[in-house]
Amino acid sequence: MNAAAAVEALTLPVVETFHSLQGEGVHTGRSALFIRLGGCSVGCSWCDTKHSWPVAVHPRRRLDSLTAEVQQAATAGAAFVVITGGEPLEHPLDPLCTTLAAAGLPLHLETSGVGPWSGQFHWITLSPKPHRPPSAEALRRCQELKVVVHDAQDLAFAEAMASAALAQRRSGEPGPALLLQPGWDCPEGQRLAIGFVQAHPGWRLSLQSHKWLGVR
Ligand code: SF4
């Protein structure tokens, strides 16, 4: 490995870090440190973090400096770390997870499940996208399946993904928690998601509570 490659292996492009409450999904309302990595080629038209897509514009941060920040956040009350993006799996995440493990907080991943798997996590939220379906590995590993709903096709996709996640598990192994999340500012998505959850008790609603509250 040459010097440039060695430095790159110890760093990742970071859009932002912040300590807030988890706004979405099963862990909504819990104190968390967010690490948003730069880089995503999935290309969702409704993406609310398009600024995270390019890699090169975001400064590369050393993994040990991120670990120090996680340790500070733990002292300040963070219950876990959320690795988000962008699409975190567009980077090899094993060095990050190994380094952050020293801080002692559980690691959560938010991913679309596209691309090769890497890293070790205590909780994986898979938010699959119809135009770039997730890998079998992501479907097998996730504890939480969270599908964004804009139209009726998204409901059919959500059911297909729930079946695919179960199909990837061993007999008797539980499936992921199943959540529908209306697209932001999408009344049709809200209507469809609420109606579906009312009629399907295995599913629950996820709201982007941080956006409703106007916090990060
Ligand atoms: S995968 Fe996430 S970050 Fe990437 S385009 Fe889709 S919503 Fe945006």
What are the pLDDT digits (tens) for 57-105?
999 999 999 999 999 999 999 999 999 999 999 999 999 999 999 999 9
Considering just the CA atoms, what is the radius of gyration of the chain in Å?
Answer: 17
pLDDT, tens digit (0-9, with 9 covering 90-100), for 17-60: 999 999 999 999 999 999 999 999 999 999 999 999 999 999 99
Neighbours of 72 (CB within 10 A): 13
pLDDT at 9: 72
Q: Tell whether ligand 1 has an atom less than 6 A from the beta carbon of residue 92.
A: no
Rounded average pLDDT over 124-143: 98
Atom of ligand 1 nearest to the CA of 50: 8
pTM: 0.96
What φ, ψ does residue 49 adopt, rounded to 5°? -130, 45
Rounded average pLDDT over 148-155: 98
Q: Tell me if 83 sits within 8 A of 108, measured CB to CB.
A: yes
1 has a pLDDT exceeding 70: no
Q: Tell whether ligand 1 has an atom less than 6 A from the beta carbon of residue 132.
A: no
3-state secondary structure of 211: helix
7 has a pLDDT exceeding 80: no
Give which of 111, 106, 73, 71 is closest to 91, Cα–Cα: 111
Strand order in the sheet with 80-84: 60-62, 11-21, 31-37, 80-84, 107-111, 123-126, 144-149, 177-182, 203-205
Distance in Å, CA 115 to ligand 1 centroid: 13
pLDDT, tens digit (0-9, with 9 covering 90-100), for 162-210: 999 999 999 999 999 999 999 999 999 999 999 999 999 999 999 999 9
Residue 110: exposed, middle, or buried by beta-carbon count in 10 A (0-12, 13-18, 19+)? buried
What φ, ψ does residue 96 adopt, rounded to 5°? -60, -50
Q: Tell whether ligand 1 has an atom less than 6 A from the beta carbon of residue 13.
A: no
Atom of ligand 1 nearest to the CA of 40: 4
Distance in Å, CA 44 to ligand 1 centroid: 5
- Angle value at C-alpha 106, between 102 and 108, nearest 5 degrees: 120
Q: Integer distance in angstroms from the first to the last C-alpha of the chain?
A: 39
Q: Tell whether ligand 1 has an atom less than 6 A from the beta carbon of residue 126.
A: no
SS (H, E, C) 93-158: CHHHHHHHHHHCCCEEEEECCCCCCCCCCCEEEECCECCECCCHHHHHHCCEEEEEECCHHHHHHH
Give which of 25, 44, 48 is closest to 179, Cα–Cα: 25
The C-alpha atoms of residue 33 and residue 194 are separated, in whole angstroms, by 30
**Which residue lies with its CA nearest to atom 7 of ligand 1?**
47
pLDDT at 158: 98
Strand-strand pairing, 203-205 and 177-182: parallel
Domains of the chain, each with CATH number or no CATH: 3-213 (3.20.20.70)
pLDDT at 216: 85
Distance in Å, CA 200 to ligand 1 centroid: 27
